[in-house]
Amino acid sequence: MATLGNRKNTSEIIQKYQFDFRKKFGQNFLIDNSILDKIVEAADITRQDCVLEIGPGIGTMTQRLAEEAGEVVAVEIDKNLMPILEETLAGYDNVTVLNEDILKVDIHQIVADHGGRPIKVVANLPYYITTPIIMTLFESHVPLKSVTVMVQKEVADRMQVGPGTKDYGALSLAVQYYAKPEIITRVPAACFMPRPNVDSTVIRLTRYEKPPVETQDEEWLFAVIRASFNQRRKTLANGLANAAGLGVNRQQVEGVLAEMGLSATIRGETLTLERFSELSDRLLTARAAGRF
Ligand code: SAM
């Protein structure tokens, strides 16, 4: 069947099924073949790969993925898209479509059901849940090689910046703990139907085999990072001492900062991942020993 990656063919299929775009599902379909080429090329897919696509929409990218990959599993929440996908993917015997919510489905089970090898995730993500999707993929330790995704431009910037900039925060640190981020291409709003209000970016996150820093307790590290950025306009010490779940008091926070040669008024956005790892390890020890 004809490629869907243009305005005419996308409109035709939308009209044929009288499909109503649902804003609440972040439905902005790609209508630009050259962007599809760039995404598929950046994802570096071979016949050996099993690809997980999140939100196939009408199947525009799914068709391309199916042509390159050994297998594609596409998880789509909107049941109204199921008959459309049945038609647009009819020519491919290596695609499985699951009518599920990606935040609820058991991704470990999907991987196990499809050969158990580390997957490559490729998606034009629904923007309203970009961060939870990325965090779920990494924090659940699903075996994966890379995540190549279209996201809102500002979110891509946040994923790849270093300390000392306004965009740097918990998302930057989490992504950079698990993966190497690389911007692939900027994508103007005109490449989608309907046109979104924001510009987009394709970013590739290549999973590290081993995180770049060692930490005593990964969950604790991320609890510390989140608390440090909770009160963006306030100091890191305030964020940590006020975080109910952490169970560290102000003296402990200030004591550890002093041990590290850091000022009590330092802000989270100035610390590297290495320093956060050191801070969280020291806080863990101070809390366990009831120090300061
Ligand atoms: N891949 C298509 C494309 O590039 O044209 C569609 C991309 S569109 C930005 C996002 C897609 O994700 C929509 O099809 C939407 O219905 C789907 N989606 C939204 N929330 C979802 C969720 N929680 N789980 C699975 N799919 C979801």
Q: How far apart are CA 236 and CA 266, in angstroms?
A: 6
- Report the pLDDT value the prediction gives residue 276, as an integer from 0 to 100: 97
Per-residue pLDDT tens digits for 46-102: 999 999 999 999 999 999 999 999 999 999 999 999 999 999 999 999 999 999 999
Is residue 159 within 8 Å of residue 171, measured between CB atoms? yes
Query: Phi and psi of 147, rounded to 5°?
Result: -130, 110
Per-residue pLDDT tens digits for 118-128: 999 999 999 99
Rg for the chain (alpha carbons), in Å? 21
Choose the residue to mutate in 58, 75, 78, 202 for probing ligand 1, maximizing ligand atoms within 8 Å of C-beta.
78
DSSP letters along 90-144, please? TT-SSEEEE-S-TTTS-HHHHHHHTTSSPEEEEEE--GGGHHHHHHHHHHTT--E
Residue for token pair 């990325």: 134
Per-residue pLDDT tens digits for 234-257: 889 999 999 988 999 999 999 999
Four-residue CA torsion sign, 67, 22, 197, 169:
negative
- Report the pLDDT value the prediction gives residue 105, as an integer from 0 to 100: 97
Query: Phi and psi of 103, rounded to 5°?
Result: -80, -10
Report the nearest-CA residue for atom 23 of ligand 1: 101
Report the nearest-CA residue for atom 12 of ligand 1: 55
Is residue 174 within 8 Å of residue 135, measured between CB atoms? yes
Report the nearest-CA residue for atom 10 of ligand 1: 126
Q: Which residues line ligand 1 (CB under 6 A)?
A: 25-30, 54-57, 60-61, 75-78, 101-103, 124, 126, 129
